[in-house]
Structure 1
Amino acid sequence: MDISRKLGIMIFSAVPAIIGGGIVYHFFGSFVQVIIYECVLLLAAVGCTGRK
């Protein structure tokens, strides 16, 4: 996988991180759940870009 595809995946996962983080905060009212949500998204993005 080339670098432009990896950057595209990272940018594509930034939108759910911003929008989803706000939604998670709205429902739970705490940043702990937002941090957990962001970590799960980060692991998913790294998992997608880490493949050969």
Structure 2
Amino acid sequence: MDISRKIGIMVFTAVPAIMGGGIVYHFFGGFTEVIIFEALLYLAALGCISR
């Protein structure tokens, strides 16, 4: 996988991180759940990039 594709994947996961973090905070009302959501999203992005 070339560098431009890896950067594209990182940009593609930035939108769910920003929007999803706000949604998770709205429903659960705490930053602990947001941090867990962000960590899971980060692991998924690393999994896609490491291929």
Query: How does the TM-score come out when normalised to structure 2?
Result: 0.99
Q: What is the root-mean-square deviation in Å for CA atoms of aligned residues? A: 0.2
Match of 2:34 in 1: 34
Task: State the distance in 2 between where 1:7 and 1:39 align.
Answer: 18
Q: What amino acid is aligned across from residue 5 of structure 2 in structure 1?
A: R
Alpha-carbon distance in 2 for matches of 1:44, 1:2: 18
The runs of at least 4 aligned residues of structure 1 exceeding 2 Å deviation read: none
Gaps of 5+ in 1: none
Q: 1:21 deviation in Å?
A: 0.1
- The one-character-per-residue Cα deviations of 1:17-44 (angstroms, maximum 9, x if unpaired) are 0000000000000000000000000000
Instruction: Kindly indicate whether residue 12 of structure 2 is the aligned counterpart of residue 12 of structure 1.
Output: yes
**Number of equivalences:** 51
